[in-house]
Every structure is written in structure tokens, then in C-alpha cells.
Amino acid sequence: MRENLNYLKNMLIFKDPLSSFYKLLRRFSIRNRLFLSFLFIIILLIFSVNFLIINYQKKSLKKQYYQGLKHNLEIFSLELVDGLIFFDPLKLDEKVNSLKTTPGIVYVMVIDKKGKIVAHSNASQLGNFIPINSFTFRNWEIVDSNKIRHINLPVFKEDFYLGAVRVGVSEVELEEFINQSIKTLKNYMIFISGIFLVIALIVSYFISITLTQPLAKLKESIKKAQINEFELCENENLILCKDFYKCQETQCPAYGKTRCWLYETSRKWCKEVLQKDCEDCYVYKYSCKDELGYVIESFNKMMVDLKFYMEELHRATQEKIKLEKISAVSEMAMVVAHEIKNPLNSIKAACSYLKANFKGKVFQEFLSIIDRETQRLNELITSFLTYARPISLKLEKANINTIIKDVINLMKTEFEEEEKIIEMNLDQSIPEFYFDPSQIKQMILNLLVNAEDATKEGDKIWVITQKEGDFVVISVKDTGEGIPEEILDKIFEPFFTTKVTGSGLGLACVERIVREHGGKITVFSKKGEGTEFKVFLPIKYEL
């Protein structure tokens, strides 16, 4: 138990420095941490290589020294044979002093077969005897406590031992000699290491910049996203599909566009036509290049999706506000219409009675004005009630072109009287589908009335139908005066009108009818050039 507690205590003591070091590192930016990491690794590598080379050189020189020394001793022992047989002290002394000049050797001595020192690098030792034992005339090496390596080599002639030669080598002096020998190598290594260190600084700096620059761009894009600026992160490696593959598929939704993988339509097209996912495409991989590139492009995809969802949310919110406004206005219109309708009927009845029972030109003229305006107010209230209490859709399978022709025939005479030209371009390939014929008639009638009011003598009005995917597109276009840009987003609001006598419910009814059919309506207009309304109705083959 005590051992476990001591172990935990040691771990905690050891953890504190690591924790402090980690906190210190966290204060640095990623760029600086990468720079220091690369620099530390390169410096460690340089010093490790230097250490290994110098140590290897030292060991190699030491090994060569002893190999050379042993070789010289073998030659030396052969040269001593005559000197020992005929006992030539001068020759022996010369040989000893010659060998003594070898670096690191502290003494050289020669003994005869009786153990008498007959030659010594220290003349005071001449004539002394050393003990004779079984190791005296054998090869051996030994290192004493003073780091002196003693090397013994026998001298013999044929099978007769004549004596021995013994050498002492100082390991310390030899180490100093080797260090002095490799001093030039050390200086050279330091010079080369300095050059590599400077290169390491430059390389580490550029590597850290290369790795962190995309992260810095990503950081800026994230900051912008936080303030609802959904900008894409830059990527200088982007290439185009059409350029890389020499693609001629101009029907591709993303043909000639950068980052084709961000477009859902192009992703589906590649999947269906080319049987390939964007993530497996070489263009995508080349544009990403590395893991940071994949992170950047994933972020860009997220930004595109987020922007789309935010726009959808804004559109849904606006639609909700609009529906709530329409609901409130409808309730108000219904209440007001009910309250006004009965007094209007009474006024109209009283006016009819007066016209029938009283004569007089001026009197009849004013009664006609009252009757006409009462009728106009009654029609206006009826339109209020129609908008406030819309009739439920009665879906029938019918031909949209037939409905359009009926409405145009109904208004053709009126257009001809005003000398306005109406033309049709109806797509005969549109099949029959389910919709409410009476409501669609009302919608087209309102659009044509709107076009009639916006045009003058000699202007043209086109009614065009075409099939686009699962939708039928009905276009009503005119060359009239156009709609000012500042009110373009208000024209579908109830009771909004620029006419003196209008109720402001015509286009509001059109928008409601389209919405109830599950479609959408768009408007394109330019002041002085005309207006085009496009209605998109979903094709329902079955109920």
C-alpha cells in the first residue's frame, strides 16, 4: 500500500513540470509551435549526427592506433632478437627510445629471460629485475587504476624465449592526442552544423507558414461566418473540370464553374451520368491536395449549405409573416365587408326607388352617380369577401392550354378595341393534369387584366406555356410601362395598388391561387420595358 502511495506521489511530482511546460506551449500560436518543433527536431538531428560521427571517428582512430602499435611491437620484438643474443645495450636503447616517441606511450622496457631490465625508456630502471611467472613470456594486456594500458609481448628465437618487451600506454594522453587529431574535423563539423542550422531556421519558418496559412484563412472565414458573412475560404489550387478533362459536356449544371462539387445539381449529374462521386474525382482531390485542403473545402461546402438553409429560413419566416398578415387582413376585410354590405344594399334600393318615382334631369344624373358608385363599392366588397373566404380547390384533370385559350377568347375583343396585340405560344406537349380550372381561369384573367392596365395602344402581350421537369410554366409578358424596382416586392401584398380605382387584391389573389396549388410565382420587370410574370404549377397526374 505504501509503495502504491509513493508511486502516485512521484507521478504527481513528475506531472507538475510537464503540466507547466504544456501550459507554456499553449501560450504560443500554432505557427510558433510548429516552427519550434521543426527547429528542435532538426537541431537534435544535427547534434546527434555530429556526436555519432565524432564518437565513431574517435573509436576508429583508437582502434587503428592499437592495431598499429601491436604491429610495431611485433616488428620491434624481431629486431630485439640480435640485441638480446649478443647483448648490445646501445642498440637496445636506441630501439626503445625510438618506440617511446609514439604518442601516448609512457614507458617502454625490455627484459631478458632472467627478468632483468636490459633496456628502459627511464634509464634509472636499468639493471632491476621483475618477478618471473607463467605470464612473463606471453601476450597480454591489462589496464590499471591509473588508466595505463600495459601491453606485454615475448621475444623468442624459434622455440627459445629470449625475453620480453613491455609497453605502457596512457589512456588519458591517448584520448588527448585523438581529440587533438580530430580538432580540425570538429571545427569543420561545427561550421557545417552552423550552415545547416541556418537552413533549418529558414526551412522551419517556411514549413510553419505553409501549414498554418490555410488555417489563418479558415479562421478569417469563420470570423466572417459569425457575423453572417458566408464567404468561401480561398484555395489557390482550384482547377476546372472542363480544363482538366477537356470536357465538352456543356449541359452539365456546373460547366465552367469553380468548385463544381458545391452544386447539388452537378453532384447529382455526375452521379447519374458519369457514375462518380465528387469525393472520388481527381479534380476534387487535386484541388484539395492535402488534409488542410480537404478541411477547407469541407468548410466551404458547409458555408454553402448554411447560406442556403439561412435563406430558406428567412424565406419561410417572411412567408409566415405574410400569411399571418394576410390572415389578419382577411378577417378584418370580412368583418368590414359584412358591416358595409347591408347599408349599401339599402342605399341601392332607395336610389332605385327615387329614380323610378321622381323626375328631373339633374336629380336623375346624381341618382345615377350614386347607383354606379354603390355598384362599384358592392363589387369591391364582393372581392374582399372572395379573398377573405377563398373557395376550396376543386381539382379536375384538364388541359391547361384549353383554359388559357378560353380566357384569352373572353378578353380578345377588349384587347382589339384598345388596339393591343396579344399573342400565344402554347406548348402542345403538356399533358393533362389535376388543377382547379375555375381558380386557374381567375388567376390568368387577373394577370391579363393587370397587363392590360400596364400597357398602352400598340403594346404587345404574350402568353407562353412550357414544361420544365415536373412543372408547367405559364408566362404572361407585356411591353408596358413596367413596375418600379422599389415596389416590386410589395405587389403581392393585399390592398397594395398603384391604381386610383383598384382594390389591390388582384395579384394577391393570383399569389394565393398559385400557393394553394403548391406552385410559385416570380416577377421580372424593368421600368419602361415591360413586365413578365412566371407561374410554376406542379404537374399532378394522380390525386
* Strand boundaries in 36-146, DSSP class E: 105-112, 117-120, 140-143
For residue 14, is pLDDT > 50? no
Q: Are 322 and 494 in contact (CB under 8 A)?
A: no
Residues 541, 543: Cα–Cα separation, whole Å: 7
Higher pLDDT, 138 or 345: 138
Bridge partners of 105, per DSSP, are 169
What pLDDT score does 534 carry?
92
Lowest mean pLDDT among 330-339, 388-397, 489-498: 330-339
Q: Are 113 and 161 in contact (CB under 8 A)?
A: yes
pTM: 0.43
Q: 3-class secondary structure for 54-75? A: HHHHHHHHHHHHHHHHHHHHHH
% of the chain exceeding 70 in pLDDT: 84
From 124, 195, 120, select the one nearest 164 (Cα to Cα): 120
Residues 125, 113: Cα–Cα separation, whole Å: 17
Higher pLDDT, 182 or 239: 182
* Residues found in the chain: 543
Q: Are 96 and 111 in contact (CB under 8 A)?
A: no
* Residues ≥6 apart with Cβ < 8 Å to 344: 374, 377, 378, 381
For residue 6, is pLDDT > 60? no
Q: Are 427 and 490 in contact (CB under 8 A)?
A: no
Residue 103 to residues 63, 69, 73, 172, 178, Cα–Cα distance (Å): 14, 10, 14, 11, 10
User: Mean pLDDT across the stretch 1-21?
Assistant: 51
Residues 222, 81: Cα–Cα separation, whole Å: 92
For residue 69, is pLDDT > 80? yes
User: Mean pLDDT across the stretch 6-20?
Assistant: 51
From 476, 502, 506, select the one nearest 415 (Cα to Cα): 476
Per-residue confidence band for 11, with pLDDT thresholds at 50, 70 and 90 = very low
* Residues ≥6 apart with Cβ < 8 Å to 167: 69, 73, 99, 105, 107, 108, 150, 151, 153
Residue 403: helix, strand or coil by DSSP?
helix
For residue 536, is pLDDT > 90? yes
Buried b / exposed e over 241-276, threshold 16 CB at 10 Å, is bbeeeeeeeeebebbeeebbbbbeebbebbeeeeee
Q: Are 8 and 162 in contact (CB under 8 A)?
A: no
% of the chain exceeding 90 in pLDDT: 7
C-alpha cell belonging to residue 172: 588519458
What pLDDT score does 149 carry?
92
Per-residue confidence band for 269, with pLDDT thresholds at 50, 70 and 90 = confident
For the chain, list the domains and their CATH numbers: 23-223 (3.30.450.20), 230-289 (no CATH), 300-389 (1.10.287), 392-538 (3.30.565.10)
User: Mean pLDDT across the stretch 220-237?
Assistant: 74
* Residues ≥6 apart with Cβ < 8 Å to 478: 451, 454, 455, 459, 460, 461, 462, 530, 531, 532
